[in-house]
Structure 1
Amino acid sequence: MAYADYTFYTAEFYGKKISETDYPYFAERSSEYLDSLNFAETDEISLAKACCACADIMYSVQPENQISSEKVGDYSVNYSAAQTDVADVLLKTASRYLNLRSVGWI
């Protein structure tokens, strides 16, 4: 079960990137990712915010969200390659909200 629902995402985290339809998938993947980390006990709000922040990143790196240019006549779309390692970005993002225990992660 996801650590944050769509209401929290929009009303408390002020998220705008992910639609209500897409949010459950990305929140669940984000929560699974957070479960894989070794972090100290934390409050529910911090865990929910980490879930939302990581869900935003996971959503943003989807190929359909990485359009670098689009042409209308003779339709053409170009996707940009990810500039950063997603795993590093997720870890740094989660660490803003969670007290990660493992030394050397950040």
Structure 2
Amino acid sequence: MKNFILSFLQIKENNIDFIQITVEEVSHKGIKSLFITAKLTYNPTHCPDCGCINADYSIVNNGTRASRITLPHISGLPAFLKLSKQRYLCKDCGHSFTAETQVVEKHCHIL
């Protein structure tokens, strides 16, 4: 089912998870629109700040950050992906960072 949704939405990213597929039809800026919910998460290999290798739980999950991505129209309605991006915390240096993907630009969290 996940692969069908990713190909239907024309998204080429394997780390986006549609745990509970929810499609909401809501009014956005006065226009009826579709909102699809998903989460971006993975196990980071190292800290991008200090380079510490992720071993023995040196990098832990630390909440999420929301992004809204504009998708192509679906059935004539504007469509958006509400993506929760996983936040991480490096215990070695105290630096926090967000899961990255090519679907969303770095530091992008339009709501």
User: What TM-score range do you get, normalising by the shorter chain?
Assistant: 0.3 to 0.5
Structure whose residues are more often strand by fraction: 2
Normalising to structure 1: TM-score of the pair?
0.35
> Higher relative contact order at CA 8 Å, sep ≥6: structure 1 or structure 2?
1
Higher helix fraction (1 or 2): 1
TM superposition score normalised by structure 2: 0.34
